[in-house]
Amino acid sequence: MPISTHVKNLPDAPVRPEEDKDFYLALLRAYIDSANDGIFVLCDEMKFHVANNLLASWLGESENILTSHNNRFPITHFIGSAENNEMFTMQFNKALSGQPVRFECRIFPIQANARWVEISMNKVNMEHGNLVIGVMRDYTEHKLAIARIERQAIHDELTGLINRREFSKRLDNLLENAITHNTNHSLLYMDLDQFKVVNDTCGHIAGDELLRQLSTLIKTKVRHSDTLARLGGDEFGVLLEDCSLKESMEVAEILRQTISGFRFHWQEKRFEIGVSIGVAPIDANCVNTADILSSADAACYIAKDKGRNRIQSYVGAEELTHKRGEMNWISRITHAFEEHRFRLYYQNIIPISATIPCIEHREVLLRMIDEKGKLLSPGELVHAAEKYNLMPTIDRWVIRTLFARNSGHWRKILKKNPQGETETNFFCSVNLSGASLNDDYFLDFLRDQIEEHDIPPNAICFEITETMAINNLHKVSSFIQELKPIGFRFALDDFGSGMSSFTYLKSLPVDFLKIDGALVKGIATNKIDYCMVDSINRIAQEIGIMTIAEYVENDAILEKLRTIGVNYAQGYGIHKPETLF
């Protein structure tokens, strides 16, 4: 910024004789030295005429030395870098020709700290020659902040490794290189074995520390030219440049042995961790990066299927066909949405205890019609959707569709009880996935749908599986506590698939316990199954939770459930699913 500009901004001076130039010069000097920027005046040789105190301190010299008539140095002497000196000289010449300039550079004074600065320069015409007035602003903190943001954009926050987005970019570059120059590279897809044991036993803090330690260890086993990334959860990827499939298998074995030999210690506990590794080539025969990742992921899946803690290369073998077919579900599900081939079905849940009021209760079920018009198995659909993180999209479609089409019916059958509260003799159970409950925006979406369709809360019961509740206890508890006070009901589904879950019932204020069908199916013939169902029912009744038995397929099972005192029954022996709309 020119000194003339600073002068314009000076406060009004006291009335002084016009000839008292010393006063104005002193005032101008005080203003320059109080500035938060470095201010300088250079002659046409880039030597100092003026340098304020702040600039002198940045350059590691006093102003007297900088401006000493016989020993003046050009400003480039303090910039330090040949490249930056060249850039400053070019910008200075522009300013000297009358063109205002502004640019950034980094200065490296010999006797002071290096710093990033923004420099503005303007020419002024003086009686005895042309000068250049400049302002130097410290830009270091701004540059460091940008560098931090840029680093965060490409690195995983927990481990410090490259993140999935940057990994994909580098994979794009390697594929382009392979096609253009006919080179060979490889991708390793690594999925830790037994990581969930650490999380479940010691909590997520321990799991995070394990990931940090392993990341540091793995980095020591790959070359600087390779890319190690955390792809998500307990999955890692490695890009091996100029590495054949045979060589990459050797690298993969080194990594497998390294991780298998690692022992994780946490609060007097010791854990052994394994890893399953899928290896895929990156060469001129590859079509796109999605196929490369898919191939490596498929190979990793086979490694796990064969017993874990092993390596599997992708060579187009038939054993990978099934995995590829499973991954094709991504496009199948996407096309089913686009072509409106999802359907909602329902299955009745009936009271089997004389003390239970007769209220119509249905579970809403999802079905998909395939490309040939055939109804697909729900198990296959849900497994693929969970694997490839499509459940949040499906859950939202179910809720949006159910609420839009059923809200009018629910409003019509509302009634007031003697206490003046709104009731309904009909409600639906809707399954929610763990992915939706872990979605920070799902609750907002649900609130919007409730408000948009004016849904009576007591017409909806959300079902959450026992396994999901245990693995996400805090999230599930918060979700229930948010919606239960306004009237929504909750059921814990598949209860009994993990018998350690009794203690969690005290933390989850659910209305219903759905006893796992694997236990229910055998109660007419298996004493152990009968005792387990009986135990679950008695504990639930004791703490005020009603029970629902799933997979009730015949009268013998139904009779046993009545004897035990289970409240509700559901299954093909009660009612076969029908289309809801």
In a domain, 190, yes or no: yes
Cα–Cα distance measured from residue 332 to residue 316, given in angstroms and rounded to the nearest whole number: 22
In a domain, 496, yes or no: yes
pLDDT exceeds 90 at position 471: no
Q: Model confidence over 160-177: pLDDT tens digits?
A: 999 999 999 999 999 999
Q: Model confidence over 183-225: pLDDT tens digits?
A: 999 999 999 998 988 888 888 899 999 999 999 999 999 999 9
- Does 294 share its domain with 403? no
pLDDT category at 7 given cuts 50, 70, 90 is very low
In a domain, 365, yes or no: yes
- Does 191 share its domain with 311? yes
pLDDT exceeds 60 at position 573: yes
pLDDT reported for residue 6:
44
pLDDT reported for residue 483:
94
pLDDT reported for residue 8:
46
Residue finishing a domain among 143, 175, 205: 143
pLDDT category at 357 given cuts 50, 70, 90 is confident
pLDDT exceeds 70 at position 19: no
Domain encompassing residue 515: 339-579
User: Regarding predicted confidence, which is higher, 535 or 467?
Assistant: 535
CATH number for the domain that contains residue 259: 3.30.70.270
In a domain, 151, yes or no: no
Helix axis angle, 164-181 to 289-305, nearest 10°: 110
- Does 226 share its domain with 351? no
Q: What is the percentage of the chain residues whose pLDDT exceeds 90?
A: 52
Which residues contact residue 537 at a Cβ distance below 8 angstroms, ignoring those fewer than 6 apart?
A: 515, 547, 564, 565, 566
Q: What is the 3-state secondary structure (H, E, C) of 375-390?
A: ECCHHHHHHHHHHCCC
In a domain, 531, yes or no: yes
Cα–Cα distance measured from residue 175 to residue 183, given in angstroms and rounded to the nearest whole number: 9
- Does 218 share its domain with 355? no
Which residues contact residue 401 at a Cβ distance below 8 angstroms, ignoring those fewer than 6 apart?
A: 342, 344
Residue finishing a domain among 90, 120, 143: 143
* Domain total of the chain: 3
In a domain, 149, yes or no: no
- Does 161 share its domain with 94? no
- Does 346 share its domain with 238? no
pLDDT exceeds 60 at position 15: no
The mean per-residue pLDDT over the stretch 355-364 comes to: 85
Cα–Cα distance measured from residue 231 to residue 238, given in angstroms and rounded to the nearest whole number: 10
- Does 350 share its domain with 316? no
Residue finishing a domain among 272, 300, 327: 327
The mean per-residue pLDDT over the stretch 312-334 comes to: 70
CATH number for the domain that contains residue 403: 3.20.20.450
pLDDT exceeds 80 at position 142: yes
From 518, 530, 527, select the one nearest 571 (Cα to Cα). Answer: 518
pLDDT exceeds 80 at position 321: no
- Does 135 share its domain with 194? no
The mean per-residue pLDDT over the stretch 38-47 comes to: 91
pLDDT exceeds 70 at position 5: no
User: Regarding predicted confidence, which is higher, 526 or 321?
Assistant: 526
pLDDT category at 463 given cuts 50, 70, 90 is very high
- Does 293 share its domain with 364? no
Q: Model confidence over 217-239: pLDDT tens digits?
A: 999 999 999 999 999 889 999 99
In a domain, 334, yes or no: no
H-helix or E-strand spanning residue 164: helix 164-181
pTM beyond 0.75, yes or no: no
pLDDT reported for residue 2:
45
Question: Six-digit token pair at 181?
Answer: 């120059």
The mean per-residue pLDDT over the stretch 2-8 comes to: 44
pLDDT category at 154 given cuts 50, 70, 90 is confident
Residue 219 CA to its chain's centroid (Å): 22
CATH number for the domain that contains residue 75: 3.30.450.20
Could you give the 3-state DSSP secondary structure of residue 314?
coil
In a domain, 150, yes or no: no
CA angle 258, 261, 264 (to 5 degrees): 110
Cα–Cα distance measured from residue 202 to residue 200, given in angstroms and rounded to the nearest whole number: 6
- Does 228 share its domain with 250? yes
- Does 295 share its domain with 376? no
- Does 368 share its domain with 508? yes
Residue with tokens 């209305």: 511
Backbone CA torsion sign across 56, 62, 63, 65: negative
User: Regarding predicted confidence, which is higher, 501 or 95?
Assistant: 95
